[in-house]
């Protein structure tokens, strides 16, 4: 294994921390994230509550960890959903070509033509503003991007001689797609999944910030940030920590994504 | 002309060494040579010989990852290292010009031809007015054979073909009247027919201006034809250098000898046992491209093949030759069933075949293909053993044990026995990968193999080995072969019969000796004039005899 | 060339059509009587029946779409339930407010980011490059709503340099309007700098690898001439396309910045409408933004040949 680049080291460290926090947040937190305690409200970071308490007296650290778990779960579900749907569409479109491709891509491009957040907002009005609604709305909003990229990869793979060789050997089209094309899509798909995880996390936070995401009292970093606004003058820590968590996680994802792209893409071009 | 000091050499390279900056690995070691004014010198070597890096470092244009670690480079008596950045820039273009290999990428796609050509003049001949520059550019464009220079000035590179772009590159460089022209594989990316024209142009222009030429190539015969002296490089070192004719006649170093003996040559014609029916028979085949049924109108397709007829008998090797755009690849793919035809029939063993029709499965089992690019014809995610074994997947009669045995057998036939079966394609060299491709094609013991430029992407010495392997397998197992190639030299060695194509039509066909010695079509003669006939000398070298030297180049299209 | 223009415009038409269908279907997917949804609390039996008639709700779906589409082409996007105003003028008013912020931010960001990215690529792996890439990645990772909050906190509250809440239109008081607009613009500017520097650097790196760059050096050109005269135009293309995408995306995502700085823009209009279940406004916003996005990208595509003449040859 070559010397690990700085991107991987820092990105990996960040994501590792976040993952630990998220996993922990799902099973154990220092305090109950929902437990209200009006007496200790708006306490600055200290010995008992490491990161302070919010306007209801709830422990900020615990809420951050629970939020990590929620956001990660939602984002993962969305990436998987959009990934599966988009790959299916892209695979069929790219390999079959002809009118199937034209029609699928016409719809795909029309959906792509909506800014993703806008489409998600639109879908949310139908799906309802809760966890499942977000997964559906964001999943559908990002499916066209996945389909486009998978289709592009399939198109270029299709012209590679080892695919022609498979056909000459007498293998069925289905076999060729499953055995030769799909496995070679894995590289770009991993890079895409990493980037998408970042976009979805950001979108989910933004939607929660607007009040259209996971409804309170369940915490996400976005709605914690939104709730901090009235108290921003007195309890500045309420605004700092959630935003910091989002930024740090996104930074980690971006660094890892960059490193992955460097590693995986050149080999896809067949450099010897 | 400037005064030449000391030895009179224009360029004097002494003990040059280059290494990779990050790891210290040497890529060029102790290279010494000189170029006299007006001389044409060729550097020959295979990939990894370091020839390109050594030559680029003459103008300090090597990639930033490579550093000079030893040696001196003196041009017109001055050591390169002593030059200030401004003097170095004056040198580049003004005294030394460079022509690159890939015409598709060496011109800026977003700048007009006129601007790119005038740019050099603006830097090196500042006293010229804009009109003066324009006049010089127009004149040079005319001299390199561009038909409508005025229109060319405002045109963009993508509007010209590869050969035209290379001429424009030559114009761009020769405009500045350099003392030395460095040509890095100037014609490798061009069609065989166009290559000769561009080379003759280059030699003509440089001779007229008294410009010395340092030409890099992997094509020894081409270098031998046009140069005064040859330098042979291998793995970063010079193994031999001397006058072209002497080097060819009596090479000293074993590597030079290996290079010369790797050049393809004619072997005695083989007797083919006669057969009643041809194994493959093509009649009036028509293939069309690109008709699109758009939403609003129907675009007319382009005809790639205009009603071809061709037969291949059992056990014979038929070569399909032609330049790019001749349709030979299309014909190969159509016969392989990868392209649909719009007319005509293809018969296998007497029965007409069509996709999905009766006999299709049988045909698929018996017709296999070897592709050109060793880097993209093998699935990078499968092991060698799996790749070759996959071809046996649809053979019902064999059990698992038999299949494993057959795979092992065929891998040892191609010289990749033992641990190779568990390796991945990226761990193998280009030549080894092509062997795998061949193994995969013959593992089923097919009756017919289509080989689409199977050795074109390989180095000369590797090419000879793979070609020999292929011929050996063909003789042993007796499959018929359609061998597609643009390289007539290779064809001369391996073919029993030759079919010549141009623009989607067959212009000539016949047995090898007849076509090579007494061609009837003018296009065949042009193709043949690009490759020499080889006759061995007693001293381990070869004598090159050029054919049909009286054939004049075709007029340049606009 | 003309052929290229026509082809691009023609390609936009089916896209717009399908987008219109999507919005129509989306709204229709909401359970309940469409007329009741459109009228909200103000519905009376008479007005309901009237709207039923006008929207053709008793006829087939494609006909309903036709009526709806026809209305749309005439500029009739319905009436807002909450404010009882016609939707289109409302959307347009808010749009100008949002557009101002977005355009200034993106323009400034492009002006600085494109050369910065090119210089980073030119000086690849030096301290300059690492600094620029590091800063860009950092800026790119910070969500705009948090960045806005932080700016608000420090520049607005702590240092009291800039007004925190509200918006003043330019026609009333240009000086004050400028002050109010600084922080939102700065927020978007910083974020987009991150995005654009990365892209500009990546595409310049690609270009610098190509043969014609070496050829330009071999002609004796100075390094800066090589970079600005040869690399720039070719490297700019992908960044130019990205600018189009960024403009469109910001129109969608600007709601968060408008929330932080309490700006009455288009994003805020859409979000408020979603909370209020003001379906005519939701529909109008979706359609309008989608249309603007397609128009912007069309312009970007049409200007692309300026940077890469090969595109028209298809």
CB contact A101 to C (< 8 Å): no
Helix (H, G, I), strand (E, B) or coil at B547: coil
Q: How far is C274 from chain A (nearest CA, A)?
A: 6
Chain C residues in contact with A229 by the CB 8 A cut-off are 149, 260
**Window 155-174 of A, Cβ < 8 Å to B:** 160-162, 164-171
Candidates C27, C34, C136, C146: best to mutate against A (most CBs of A within 10 A) is: C146
Residue A265: per-residue pLDDT: 58
Question: Per-residue pLDDT for A143 more than 50?
Answer: yes
Mean pLDDT value across residues A61-80: 89
φ/ψ bin of C122: left (φ > 0), alpha (ψ from -120 to 50), beta (otherwise): alpha
Question: Per-residue pLDDT for A81 more than 90?
Answer: yes
Q: How far is B392 from chain A (nearest CA, A)?
A: 9
- Cβ-defined contact of B379 to A267 (cutoff 8 Å): no
Q: How far is B381 from chain A (nearest CA, A)?
A: 7
CB atoms within 10 A of CB B310: 21
Mean pLDDT value across residues B477-503: 91
- Cβ-defined contact of C149 to A206 (cutoff 8 Å): no
Sheet holding B229-234, edge to edge: B96-99, B180-184, B212-217, B40-44, B229-234, B237-243
- Cβ-defined contact of C259 to A210 (cutoff 8 Å): yes
CB contact B107 to C (< 8 Å): yes
**Window 35-94 of A, Cβ < 8 Å to C:** none
Q: Nearest chain C Cα to B101, which residue?
A: C211
Mean pLDDT value across residues B391-407: 86
For residue range A146-202, what is the model confidence (pLDDT) as tens digits? 998 899 889 888 888 898 889 888 888 889 888 898 888 888 888 889 889 998 999
Residue C314: per-residue pLDDT: 47
Whether A71 and A205 have beta carbons less than 8 Å apart is answered as yes
CB atoms within 10 A of CB B20: 14
**Window 135-194 of B, Cβ < 8 Å to C:** 156, 158-159, 169, 172, 176
Residue B555: per-residue pLDDT: 47
CA distance B52 to B30: 15
Q: What is the ipTM of this complex?
A: 0.84
CA distance A24 to A30: 10
Q: Which residues, 6+ apart, have CB-to-CB distance to B505 below 8 Å?
A: B306, B308, B327
Chain B residues in contact with A164 by the CB 8 A cut-off are 338, 369, 371
Mean pLDDT value across residues C263-268: 88
Provide the CB-side half-sphere exposure for B421 (13 A, CA): 16
Candidates A18, A121, A232, A251: best to mutate against C (most CBs of C within 10 A) is: A121
Residue B6: per-residue pLDDT: 44
CA distance C193 to C110: 7
CB contact C275 to A (< 8 Å): yes
- Burial environment of residue B15 by CB neighbours within 10 A (0 to 12, 13 to 18, 19 or more): exposed
Q: Nearest chain B Cα to A158, which residue?
A: B376
Question: Per-residue pLDDT for B160 more than 80?
Answer: yes
For residue range A14-24, what is the model confidence (pLDDT) as tens digits? 888 777 777 77
Q: How far is B91 from chain C (nearest CA, A)?
A: 7
The single residue listed with the structure tokens 């420090």 is C154
Element (H, E) at B409: helix B400-413
**Window 76-105 of A, Cβ < 8 Å to B:** none
Residue A268: per-residue pLDDT: 33
For residue range A227-247, what is the model confidence (pLDDT) as tens digits? 888 888 788 888 898 999 899
Q: Nearest chain A Cα to C149, which residue?
A: A239
Residue B473: per-residue pLDDT: 93
Q: Nearest chain B Cα to A162, which residue?
A: B377
- Burial environment of residue B552 by CB neighbours within 10 A (0 to 12, 13 to 18, 19 or more): exposed
Nearest CB neighbour to B61, from listed C212, C218, C310: C218
Residue C165: per-residue pLDDT: 66
Q: Nearest chain A Cα to C134, which residue?
A: A255
CB contact A154 to C (< 8 Å): no
Q: Please, which pLDDT band fits residue B41 given cuts at 50, 70 and 90?
A: very high
Residue B498: per-residue pLDDT: 94
Candidates A169, A184, A188: best to mutate against B (most CBs of B within 10 A) is: A169
Strands B212-217 and B180-184 come out as parallel
Chain C residues in contact with A124 by the CB 8 A cut-off are 274
Nearest CB neighbour to C218, from listed B59, B124, B156: B59
Identify the chains in contact with B, defined as 3+ C-beta pairs within 8 A: A, C
CA distance B309 to B341: 13
Helix (H, G, I), strand (E, B) or coil at B283: strand
Pick from B33, B473, B549, B488: nearest CA to B219 = B488
For residue range B353-387, what is the model confidence (pLDDT) as tens digits? 876 677 787 888 888 999 988 888 899 889 999 99
For residue range C64-94, what is the model confidence (pLDDT) as tens digits? 888 888 888 887 777 787 788 888 888 998 8
Mean pLDDT value across residues A43-59: 80
Identify the chains in contact with A, defined as 3+ C-beta pairs within 8 A: B, C
- When mean pLDDT is compared across A242-251, B284-293, C283-292, the lowest value belongs to B284-293
- Burial environment of residue B223 by CB neighbours within 10 A (0 to 12, 13 to 18, 19 or more): buried
- Cβ-defined contact of A116 to C15 (cutoff 8 Å): no
For residue range B102-118, what is the model confidence (pLDDT) as tens digits? 888 888 888 899 999 99
- Cβ-defined contact of C145 to A206 (cutoff 8 Å): yes
User: Which of A41 and B282 is assigned the larger pLDDT?
Assistant: B282
For residue range B212-226, what is the model confidence (pLDDT) as tens digits? 999 998 888 888 888
CB contact C313 to B (< 8 Å): yes
- Burial environment of residue B510 by CB neighbours within 10 A (0 to 12, 13 to 18, 19 or more): middle
- When mean pLDDT is compared across A186-195, B9-18, B541-550, C115-124, the lowest value belongs to B541-550
Return the percentage of chain B with pLDDT > 70, whole number: 94
Size of the A and B interface in Cβ pairs below 8 Å = 57
Q: Please, which pLDDT band fits residue A266 given cuts at 50, 70 and 90?
A: very low
- Cβ-defined contact of B377 to A165 (cutoff 8 Å): yes
Question: Per-residue pLDDT for B558 more than 50?
Answer: no
The pair of structure tokens assigned to B473 is 């397998």
Q: What is the 3-state secondary structure of chain C?
A: CHHHHHHHHHHHHHHHHHHHHHHHHHHHHCCCCHHHHHHHHHCCHHHHHHHHHHHCCCCCHHHHHHHHHHHHHCCCCCECCCCCCEHHHHHHHHHHHHHHHHHHHHHHHHHHHHHHHHHHHHCCCCHHHHHHHHHHHHHHHCCHHHHHHHHHHHHHHHCCCCCCCCCCCCCCCHHHHHHHHHHHHHHHHHHHHHHHHHHHHHHHHHHHCCHHHHHHHHCCCCHHHHHHHHHHHHHHHHHHHHHHHHHHHHHHHHHHHHHHHCCCCHHHHHHHHHHHCCHHHHHHHHHHHHHHHHHHHHHHHHHHHHCCHHHHHC
Chain A residues in contact with C297 by the CB 8 A cut-off are 113
CB contact C262 to B (< 8 Å): no
CB atoms within 10 A of CB B539: 11
If you average pLDDT over every residue of chain C, what do you get? 84
Residues facing B308 on adjacent strands: B285
Q: Please, which pLDDT band fits residue C208 given cuts at 50, 70 and 90?
A: confident
- Cβ-defined contact of B376 to A165 (cutoff 8 Å): no
Q: Nearest chain A Cα to B292, which residue?
A: A98
- Cβ-defined contact of B361 to A184 (cutoff 8 Å): no
CA dihedral C263, C266, C270, C276 (to 10 degrees): 50
Residue A29: per-residue pLDDT: 73
If you average pLDDT over every residue of chain B, what do you get? 86
Helices first, then strands: H and E counts in chain B: 19, 22
Residue A247: per-residue pLDDT: 92
* pTM summary value: 0.82
List the Cα angle B290/B294/B295 in 5-degree steps.
175
Q: How far is B400 from chain A (nearest CA, A)?
A: 18
If you average pLDDT over every residue of chain A, what do you get? 83
Residues facing B78 on adjacent strands: B75
CB contact B109 to C (< 8 Å): yes
Chain B residues in contact with A167 by the CB 8 A cut-off are 338
Q: Nearest chain C Cα to A205, which residue?
A: C143
CA distance C144 to B177: 58
For residue range B174-205, what is the model confidence (pLDDT) as tens digits? 999 999 999 998 888 787 778 888 888 999 99
Q: How far is B238 from chain A (nearest CA, A)?
A: 25
Q: Please, which pLDDT band fits residue A267 given cuts at 50, 70 and 90?
A: very low
For residue range B442-451, what is the model confidence (pLDDT) as tens digits? 998 999 999 9
- Cβ-defined contact of B371 to A183 (cutoff 8 Å): no
Q: Please, which pLDDT band fits residue B301 given cuts at 50, 70 and 90?
A: low
Residue C61: per-residue pLDDT: 78
CB atoms within 10 A of CB C3: 9
- Cβ-defined contact of B120 to C233 (cutoff 8 Å): no
Pick from B114, B212, B245, B142: nearest CA to B543 = B245
CB contact A250 to C (< 8 Å): yes
- When mean pLDDT is compared across A185-189, B313-317, B437-441, the lowest value belongs to A185-189
Element (H, E) at B205: helix B192-209
Question: Per-residue pLDDT for C264 more than 90?
Answer: no
**Window 197-256 of C, Cβ < 8 Å to B:** 210-212, 214-222, 230, 233-234
Mean pLDDT value across residues A93-103: 87
CA distance C44 to C49: 8
For residue range C90-103, what is the model confidence (pLDDT) as tens digits? 899 889 888 888 99
Candidates C219, C226, C240, C314: best to mutate against B (most CBs of B within 10 A) is: C219
pLDDT winner (highest mean) among A43-52, A232-241, B37-46, B453-462: B37-46
Q: Nearest chain A Cα to B362, which residue?
A: A170
Whether A171 and B394 have beta carbons less than 8 Å apart is answered as yes
């Amino acid at each position: 294994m070559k010397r690990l680049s700085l991107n991987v080291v820092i990105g990996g460290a960040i994501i590792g921390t976040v993952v630990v926090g998220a996993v922990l947040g799902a099973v154990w937190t220092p305090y109950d994230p929902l437990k209200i305690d009006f007496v200790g409200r708006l306490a600055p970071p200290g010995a008992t509550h490491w990161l302070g308490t919010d306007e209801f007296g709830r422990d900020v650290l615990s809420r951050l960890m629970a939020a990590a778990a929620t956001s990660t779960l939602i984002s993962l579900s969305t990436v998987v959903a959009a990934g599966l749907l988009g790959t299916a569409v892209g695979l069929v479109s790219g390999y079959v070509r002809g009118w199937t491709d034209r029609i699928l891509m016409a719809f795909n491009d029309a959906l792509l033509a909506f800014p993703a957040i806008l489409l998600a907002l639109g879908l949310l009005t139908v799906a309802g503003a809760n966890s499942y609604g977000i997964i559906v709305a964001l999943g559908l909003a990002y499916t066209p991007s996945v389909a486009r990229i998978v289709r592009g990869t399939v198109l270029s793979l299709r012209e590679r001689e080892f695919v022609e060789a498979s056909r000459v050997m007498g293998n069925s089209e289905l076999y060729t797609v499953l055995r030769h094309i799909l496995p070679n899509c894995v590289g770009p798909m991993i890079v895409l999944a990493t980037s998408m995880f970042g976009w979805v996390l950001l979108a989910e936070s933004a939607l929660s910030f607007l009040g259209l995401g996971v409804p309170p009292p369940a915490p996400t970093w976005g709605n914690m940030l939104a709730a901090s606004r009235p108290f921003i003058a007195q309890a500045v820590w309420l605004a700092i920590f959630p935003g910091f968590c989002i930024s740090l996680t996104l930074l980690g994802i971006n660094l890892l994504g960059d490193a992955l792209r460097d590693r995986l893409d050149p080999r896809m071009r067949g450099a010897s | 002309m400037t005064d030449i000091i000391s030895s009179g050499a224009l360029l004097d390279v002494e003990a040059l060494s280059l290494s990779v900056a990050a790891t210290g690995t040497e890529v060029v070691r102790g290279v010494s040579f000189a170029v006299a004014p007006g001389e044409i010198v060729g550097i020959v070597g295979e990939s990894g010989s370091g020839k390109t890096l050594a030559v680029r470092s003459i103008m300090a244009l090597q990639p930033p990852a490579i550093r000079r670690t030893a040696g001196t480079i003196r041009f017109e008596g001055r050591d390169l290292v002593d030059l200030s950045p401004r003097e170095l820039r004056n040198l580049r273009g003004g005294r030394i010009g460079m022509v690159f290999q890939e015409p598709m990428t060496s011109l800026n796609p977003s700048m007009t031809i006129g601007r790119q050509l005038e740019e050099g003049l603006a830097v090196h001949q500042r006293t010229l007015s804009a009109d003066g520059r324009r006049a010089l550019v127009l004149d040079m464009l005319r001299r390199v054979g561009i038909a409508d220079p005025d229109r060319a000035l405002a045109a963009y590179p993508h509007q010209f073909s590869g050969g035209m772009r290379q001429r424009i590159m030559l114009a761009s460089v020769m405009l500045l009247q350099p003392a030395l022209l460095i040509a890095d594989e100037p014609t490798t990316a061009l069609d065989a027919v166009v290559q000769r024209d561009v080379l003759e142009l280059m030699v003509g222009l440089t001779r007229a201006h008294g410009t010395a030429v340092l030409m890099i190539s992997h094509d020894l015969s081409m270098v031998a034809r046009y140069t005064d002296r040859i330098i042979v490089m291998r793995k970063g070192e010079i193994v031999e250098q001397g006058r072209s004719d002497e080097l060819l006649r009596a090479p000293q170093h074993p590597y030079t000898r290996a290079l010369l003996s790797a050049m393809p040559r004619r072997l005695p014609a083989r007797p083919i046992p006669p057969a009643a029916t041809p194994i493959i028979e093509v009649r009036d085949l028509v293939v069309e491209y690109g008709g699109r049924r758009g939403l609003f109108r129907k675009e007319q397709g382009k005809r790639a093949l205009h009603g071809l007829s061709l037969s291949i008998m059992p056990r014979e090797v038929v070569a399909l030759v032609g330049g790019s755009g001749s349709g030979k690849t299309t014909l190969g793919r159509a016969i392989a069933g990868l392209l649909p035809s719009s007319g005509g029939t293809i018969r296998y063993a007497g029965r007409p075949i069509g996709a999905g029709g009766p006999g299709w499965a049988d045909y698929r089992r018996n017709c296999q293909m070897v592709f050109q690019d060793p880097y993209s014809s093998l699935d990078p995610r499968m092991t060698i053993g799996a790749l070759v074994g996959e071809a046996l997947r649809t053979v019902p009669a064999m059990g698992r044990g038999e299949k494993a045995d057959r795979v092992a057998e065929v891998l040892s036939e191609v010289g990749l026995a033992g641990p190779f079966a568990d390796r991945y394609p990226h761990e193998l060299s280009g030549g080894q990968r092509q062997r795998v491709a061949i193994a995969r094609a013959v593992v089923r013991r097919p009756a017919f193999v289509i080989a689409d430029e199977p050795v074109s992407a390989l180095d000369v010495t590797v090419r000879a080995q793979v070609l020999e392997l292929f011929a050996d397998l063909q003789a042993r197992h007796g499959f018929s072969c359609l061998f597609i190639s643009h390289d007539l030299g290779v064809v001369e060695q391996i073919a029993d019969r030759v079919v010549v194509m141009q623009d989607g039509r067959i212009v000539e066909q016949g047995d090898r000796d007849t076509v090579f010695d007494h061609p009837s079509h003018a296009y065949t003669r042009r193709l043949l004039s690009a490759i020499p006939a080889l006759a061995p000398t007693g001293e381990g070298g070869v004598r090159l005899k050029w054919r049909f030297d009286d054939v004049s180049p075709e007029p340049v299209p606009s | 060339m003309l052929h290229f223009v026509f082809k691009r415009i023609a390609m936009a038409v089916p896209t717009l059509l399908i987008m219109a269908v999507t919005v129509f279907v989306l709204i229709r997917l909401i359970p309940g009587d469409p007329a009741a949804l459109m009228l909200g609390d103000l519905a009376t039996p008479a007005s309901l029946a009237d709207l039923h008639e006008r929207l053709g709700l008793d006829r087939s779906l494609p006909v309903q779409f036709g009526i709806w589409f026809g209305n749309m082409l005439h500029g009739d996007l319905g009436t807002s339930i909450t404010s009882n105003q016609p939707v289109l003028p409302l959307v347009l008013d808010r749009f100008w407010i949002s557009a101002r912020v977005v355009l200034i931010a993106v323009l400034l960001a492009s002006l600085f980011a494109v050369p910065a990215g090119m210089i980073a690529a030119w000086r690849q792996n030096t301290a300059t490059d690492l600094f620029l890439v590091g800063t860009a990645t950092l800026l790119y990772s910070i969500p705009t709503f948090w960045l806005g909050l932080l700016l608000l906190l420090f520049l607005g509250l702590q240092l009291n340099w800039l007004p925190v809440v509200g918006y003043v239109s330019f026609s009333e008081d240009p000086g004050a309007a400028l002050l109010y607009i600084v922080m939102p613009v700065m927020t978007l500017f910083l974020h987009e700098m991150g995005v654009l520097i990365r892209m500009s650097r990546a595409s310049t790196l690609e270009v610098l690898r190509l043969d014609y760059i070496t050829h330009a050096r071999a002609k004796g050109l100075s390094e800066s001439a090589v970079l600005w005269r040869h690399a720039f135009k070719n490297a700019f293309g992908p960044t130019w396309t990205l600018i189009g995408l960024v403009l469109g995306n910001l129109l969608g995502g600007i709601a968060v910045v408008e929330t932080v700085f309490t700006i009455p823009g288009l994003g805020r209009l859409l979000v408020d409408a979603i909370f209020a279940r003001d379906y005519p406004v939701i529909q109008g916003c979706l359609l309008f933004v989608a249309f603007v996005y397609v128009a912007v990208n069309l312009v970007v595509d049409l200007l692309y040949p300026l940077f890469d003449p090969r595109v028209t040859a298809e």
